Amino acid sequence: MTLPPLPAQPADTPWPTAEWTAGPGLPAAITATLDAAFTAEAAPRLGRTDVVLIVQGGRVVYERYGEGLSADSTFPSWSKAKSMTQALAGLLVGDGKLDIHAPADVPEWRATPDDPRAAITTDQLLRMSSGLKFVEDYVPGHVSDVIEMLYGAGKEDTAAYAAGQPLAHPPGEIMSYASGTTNIVARVLSRALGTDAAGFEAFMRARLFAPLGMASPLPKFDAAGTFIGSSFCFCSARDFARFGLLYLRDGVWDGARLLPEGWVDYARTRTASKDDPDAPYGAHWWLGVGGPGSFSANGYDGQYTVVVPDLDLVLVRHGATPLDLKDNLKAWVGDVIGAIRQGG
């Protein structure tokens, strides 16, 4: 698969490490569509919209918040934190501290000789193709490993809960989205650093957040000291946009390469899956919601950071969209980006 090129920051556009600069705005018809998402009339179709922020050419071209919210407000990441975890993995790859194609450093899988899970690589975890059984269900009353991991028996040690699951498929064959795998990855990263929760948070802030000017992130750790990378890193919309811009700029920020060369392409390369060759997933990033070549960090309840290389665009949306409306919201995001692509 040929990936579309990632655009460089326009020469006359300052990097938003300290402040974002404003762009020329969007066509009136698109602005009207975006504004309408905040109305009571839109709620039955899209749920509640708290913020939409669009960056194009490195500049803010649209930004609106719901009642009582502002640029200082923080929003839940939910699974958008998975894409941040992928960035943290990239930093360690660049440091030579992590080989994603080697068997992952998971003690539970080495406790018993010949445990087939010992062959699972970090790459397979990042691609959601580890083969581990994990029920990703958010409906109350249903069997759900993700709810049990975050709020039940697994909440004290989320990585151990996920690592304790048996294989449902041979590793590397089937892409099956599972939040537990991200918490295994987060613990792998912490072990590679040889640090505790405080040290890992310091690493996150020094190596990822601070260089981008992200001052708002609030990552959450479990009692075992593992970053709950599956679900919990609160940020402002502007900081989520900074993170998206890092990926739009191929892991480079203001002349400095933060992520290893090729790491963003790795994120946006489709994961092979025998049961679904067109599965819309890369390495801890979703594919295609903003049209061909786009990739996105998606979170429960309608959280999005969508990176669109052909438009040099990042779209951030936060709100509260019930599960039965999620397809409406996904289509809305795609339609908005499609309208921008067509010039309004």
Per-residue burial over 78-97, b = 16 or more CB atoms within 10 Å of its CB, e = otherwise = bbbbbbbbbbbbbbbbbeee
170-204 per-position pLDDT tens digit? 999 999 999 999 999 999 999 999 999 999 999 99
Helix (H) or strand (E) holding 133: none
pLDDT of residue 239: 99
Cα-to-chain-centroid distance, residue 111: 32
CA angle 307, 311, 314 (to 5 degrees): 30
118-142 per-position pLDDT tens digit? 999 999 999 999 999 999 998 877 8
pLDDT of residue 135: 96
Is 180 strand, coil or helix?
A: helix
Place of tokens 């990378």: 229
Of 312, 341, 241, residue with least CA distance to 56: 312
Angstrom distance (rounded) from CA 291 to CA 335: 9
Angstrom distance (rounded) from CA 150 to CA 154: 6
In the chain, what are the domains?
28-341 (3.40.710.10)
Contact 205, 197 (CB under 8 A): no
Angstrom distance (rounded) from CA 24 to CA 330: 26
Residue 116 DSSP symbol = G
36, 42, 47, 49 alpha-carbon torsion, rounded to 10° = 10
Return per-residue pLDDT of the chain as tens, 344 residues: 689 999 999 999 999 999 999 999 999 999 999 999 999 999 999 999 999 999 999 999 999 999 999 999 999 999 999 999 999 999 999 999 999 999 999 999 999 999 999 999 999 999 999 999 999 998 877 889 999 999 999 999 999 999 999 999 999 999 999 999 999 999 999 999 999 999 999 999 999 999 999 999 999 999 999 999 999 999 999 999 999 999 999 999 999 999 999 999 999 999 999 999 889 999 999 999 999 999 999 999 999 999 999 999 999 999 999 999 999 999 999 999 999 999 86
Angstrom distance (rounded) from CA 312 to CA 306: 11
pLDDT of residue 1: 66
Angstrom distance (rounded) from CA 298 to CA 304: 5
Contact 80, 303 (CB under 8 A): yes
Measured CA distances, 100 to 114, 183, 284 (Å): 21, 15, 13
| The overall pTM is greater than 0.85 | yes
Q: 8: which 2 tokens?
A: 């460089």
174-183 per-position pLDDT tens digit? 999 999 999 9
pLDDT of residue 144: 95
If DSSP states are collapsed to H, E and C, what string results for 44-78?
HHHCEEEEEEEEECCEEEEEEECCCCCCCCEECCC
Contact 92, 137 (CB under 8 A): no
